[in-house]
Amino acid sequence: MHFLSTMVSLLVAGSPHYGQPQPELGALVTDIADQTIASSLFACASGKASEDKLVSLDSLRWKYRVILVFAREPLADNARSNLHELAAEIEERDIVWFVLDTNTLHTNYGGEVAENLRKQLADRYFTPVPSDTAVLLIGKDGGVKSRSSDLDLEATFGLIDRMPMRREEIRRKRIDQNGKTMGARNGRERSIANRTNYLIVASHNLHLRQGRSRPHS
């Protein structure tokens, strides 16, 4: 607090209004603290926004497979249409795609992408510039799994489904689905058993009441 008071005194002394009535020290300290907190929050927010931007494919490693398409119009537009039509199959296989046309980058990535990402992808995967359409499949490990001159999604899905990592994903999903099915079946069986027990007890109680209500001969 002593250090902060000293700094405030120096700031006041250097102010063009020095010698004029000054605000209370407490008010100056509060104002400086508020400005410092606001600056820190802004810096944190800016840093978070920067972190959320996709700056390279390295950020997708072990989470997504990647399809890269380099094509000129109208082939680039056709590629995007095909990718959108099979969105469910693409999501099922954890695929993020990027279509590079003459000047633009198109993608199904859910967040923001860095402005230089298109140039980075072109320099890394499409140099020299292809004379025709070029398609790359990149696995979750970051390695290039296939290169082709056309976008054949059915063939790509088949290649992915034969990969060991994808087969393990399918196996785990099957186990999860079986577990949920068994859980639901056990729940239904317990419900039926509970209702049956309730009916047995209710019937037994009814017989007891009827027996007590009969007149003795």
The whole-angstrom separation of Cα 98 and Cα 82 is 13
The pLDDT of residue 158: 97
For range 21-48, the mean pLDDT: 47
Beta bridge partner(s), residue 214:
none
Q: What is the DSSP string of 125-151?
A: HS-SPPSS-EEEEE-TTS-EEEEESS-
For range 61-84, the mean pLDDT: 97
For range 66-85, the mean pLDDT: 97
| Angle 92-95-96 from CA coordinates, rounded to 5° | 140
6 class by beta-carbon count within 10 Å (0-12 exposed, 13-18 middle, 19+ buried): exposed
Q: Which of 42-56, 65-79, 118-132 has the lowest mean pLDDT?
A: 42-56
Whether residue 131 is predicted with pLDDT greater than 70 in this model: the reply is yes
DSSP 8-state symbol, 87: H
| pLDDT confidence bin for 46, thresholds 50/70/90 | very low
For range 61-80, the mean pLDDT: 97
- Respond yes or no on whether the N-terminal peptide bond of residue 74 is cis (omega within 30° of 0): yes
For range 141-152, the mean pLDDT: 96
Whether residue 62 is predicted with pLDDT greater than 60 in this model: the reply is yes
69 class by beta-carbon count within 10 Å (0-12 exposed, 13-18 middle, 19+ buried): buried
Q: pLDDT per residue over 197-217, tens digit each?
A: 667 766 666 666 666 666 554
Cβ neighbours of residue 66 closer than 8 Å, sequence gap 6 or more: 57, 60, 95, 96, 97, 98, 136, 137, 138
| pLDDT confidence bin for 48, thresholds 50/70/90 | very low
Cβ neighbours of residue 28 closer than 8 Å, sequence gap 6 or more: 8, 11, 12, 22
| pLDDT confidence bin for 162, thresholds 50/70/90 | very high
Q: What sign results for the dihedral spanned by CA atoms 49, 54, 56, 59?
A: positive
Query: What is the percent of the chain where pLDDT is above 90?
Result: 55
Provide the 3-class DSSP secondary structure of residue 68: strand
Answering whether pTM is above 0.85, one says no
